[in-house]
Amino acid sequence: MGKLAGEMVRVGTRGSQLARTQTGHVIDQLRSFGFEVQEVIISTRGDQQQTVPIAQIGNDGVFVRELEKALLEERIDLAVHSLKDLPTAMTPGLEFACTPPRATPFDVLVSRDGVGLRDLPADARVGTASIRRRIQIRAVRPDLQIVAIRGNVDSRLKRVDERELDAVVLAAAGLERLGRADCITEVLQPPDFWPAVAQGALVVQIKEANQRVQEILEPIHHPATYLSTVSERALLASLAGGCLAPIGSWGRFEADGELSLGGCVLSDAGGKVEMLTASCSSQVCTSESAFLLGREVAEKLLSQGAQELLDLMRDGGEPPH
């Protein structure tokens, strides 16, 4: 590391406040190691079309493809992503170099009057752009009005402050990283409310076999986050689900050192909310065992009829996000 200190590192990021804040944590660590860092802001399709539902913009990768192109063209040395935005299939020529420590993985409710999901008034208006969140909200409170929203964290919170919405559901990690955790009314956790696969985790992506950048990033890598998210993403891939599918998962290390993984598949096709859940654990903690753990939980879900639920959602004419 010492011989590399002082070198310039070009770090690619989306231009949103949250993306730049998340990337800033990585940049600060690199600078603390003695590197010169240049932040390179790259606009993605997902950022350019703020009023269009994500599933109508394209399939997986709407927030990452332009960054990946910059890596392949060597316009940047590394890109910082929210891992939940990454497709499960790696883009040829690229690889993950490290996963920093994970923030809180769960969703949270931010309500105008400081009440939890179960205590919101009848017919309250709750904002979310995620079909995974929408289905789980309906499972708890079928009477609520779900309002599709997009935009940055501040714009979503503003709609609550201005009484356009009674509440919004957001990722805890984003609020924490932006210093807005004081807005959180309720943390929504399994078994009632499952987070997106790899939610709360960042990943640093680089061009394949770039040993110089791999060495630079090694001190930032957090093995527990890496193994947990490997298991979650293996579950997602085994269910043939992209990052827009109505699938939730949570991998974590227990006190005894076991890697535990739970997952769910959701559907509200035909107006009926259905949720399948399964979990397993592994005493062996390697990338291979984490991957196999994800496949094992996926197989349990498939044995319960997960594929049928996913097919129903696809055939129902509403893209799952």
Reported confidence tier of residue 60, pLDDT bands at 50, 70, 90: low
| Catalytic entry in 112, 133, 134, 138 | 133
pLDDT of residue 7: 85
3-state secondary structure 131-149: HHHHHHHHHHCCCCEEECC
pLDDT of residue 288: 97
Please tell me whether residues 57 and 117 are part of one structural domain. Answer: no
| Catalytic entry in 65, 141, 150, 180 | 150
In the chain, the percentage of residues whose pLDDT exceeds 70 is 90
Please tell me whether residues 82 and 34 are part of one structural domain. Answer: yes
pLDDT of residue 61: 63
Active site residue 159: no
pLDDT of residue 45: 67
Please tell me whether residues 94 and 115 are part of one structural domain. Answer: no
Strand order in the sheet with 247-253: 247-253, 259-267, 274-282
Please tell me whether residues 149 and 293 are part of one structural domain. Answer: no
Helix (H, G, I), strand (E, B) or coil at 125: strand
- The phi and psi torsions of 192 (rounded to 5 degrees) equal -85, -30
What is the residue-averaged pLDDT of the chain?
90
Q: Which residue has the tokens 């990722």?
A: 171
Whether residue 320 is predicted with pLDDT greater than 50 in this model: the reply is no
Give mean pLDDT, residues 257-269: 95
Query: pTM to 2 decimals?
Result: 0.89
Q: Distance between CA atoms of 92 and 260, rounded to whole angstroms? A: 30
CATH number of 299's domain? 3.30.160.40
Please tell me whether residues 183 and 208 are part of one structural domain. Answer: no
Domain of residue 269 covers 234-315
Q: Is residue 229 part of a domain?
A: no
Please tell me whether residues 96 and 215 are part of one structural domain. Answer: yes
Q: Is residue 321 part of a domain?
A: no
| Catalytic entry in 85, 107, 166, 268 | 85
Give mean pLDDT, residues 267-282: 91
Q: Would you state the structure tokens that stand for residue 306, as one six-digit string?
A: 């997960």
Instruction: Count other C-beta atoms under 10 Å from residue 318's C-beta.
Output: 15
Give mean pLDDT, residues 19-33: 96
Whether residue 4 is predicted with pLDDT greater than 80 in this model: the reply is no
The tally of domains found in the chain comes to 3
Helix (H, G, I), strand (E, B) or coil at 158: helix
Helix (H, G, I), strand (E, B) or coil at 86: coil
Q: Distance between CA atoms of 256 and 249, rounded to whole angstroms? A: 21
Give mean pLDDT, residues 21-46: 92
Whether residue 181 is predicted with pLDDT greater than 80 in this model: the reply is yes
Q: Is residue 154 part of a domain?
A: yes
Cβ-contact 144, 126 below 8 angstroms: yes
Please tell me whether residues 208 and 89 are part of one structural domain. Answer: yes
Single-letter code of the amino acid located at 81 = H
Active site residue 132: yes
Q: Is residue 196 part of a domain?
A: no
Handedness of CA 155, 160, 164, 166 (dihedral sign): positive
State the first-to-last Cα distance of the chain, in angstroms, to the nearest integer: 41
Active site residue 14: no
Instruction: Count other C-beta atoms under 10 Å from residue 161's C-beta.
Output: 12
pLDDT of residue 317: 39
Kindly tell me the burial class for residue 74, based on how many C-beta atoms sit within 10 Å of its own C-beta (0-12, 13-18, 19 or more). exposed
pLDDT of residue 63: 73
Please tell me whether residues 98 and 116 are part of one structural domain. Answer: no
pLDDT digits (tens, 9 = 90+) for 115-140: 999 999 999 999 998 999 999 999 99
In the chain, the percentage of residues whose pLDDT exceeds 90 is 80
Please tell me whether residues 172 and 256 are part of one structural domain. Answer: no
Please tell me whether residues 132 and 263 are part of one structural domain. Answer: no
Active site residue 98: no
| Catalytic entry in 10, 84, 102, 207 | 84
Whether residue 81 is predicted with pLDDT greater than 60 in this model: the reply is yes
- The phi and psi torsions of 129 (rounded to 5 degrees) equal -100, 0
Please tell me whether residues 98 and 207 are part of one structural domain. Answer: yes
pLDDT of residue 44: 74
* Cα Rg, the chain, nearest whole Å: 20
Q: Is residue 226 part of a domain?
A: no
Q: Is residue 70 part of a domain?
A: yes
Active site residue 84: yes
Whether residue 259 is predicted with pLDDT greater than 90 in this model: the reply is yes
Q: Would you state the structure tokens that stand for residue 16, as one six-digit string?
A: 């949103």
Active site residue 285: no
pLDDT digits (tens, 9 = 90+) for 139-164: 999 999 999 998 889 999 999 999 99
Reported confidence tier of residue 240, pLDDT bands at 50, 70, 90: confident
CATH number of 165's domain? 3.40.190.10
Give mean pLDDT, residues 78-97: 94
| Catalytic entry in 132, 159, 177, 252 | 132
Active site residue 69: no
Q: Distance between CA atoms of 54 and 89, rounded to whole angstroms? A: 19
pLDDT of residue 271: 78
Single-letter code of the amino acid located at 165 = L
Give mean pLDDT, residues 211-235: 96
Please tell me whether residues 96 and 163 are part of one structural domain. Answer: no
Residues ≥6 apart with Cβ < 8 Å to 19: 13, 80, 82
| Catalytic entry in 14, 112, 138, 243 | 243
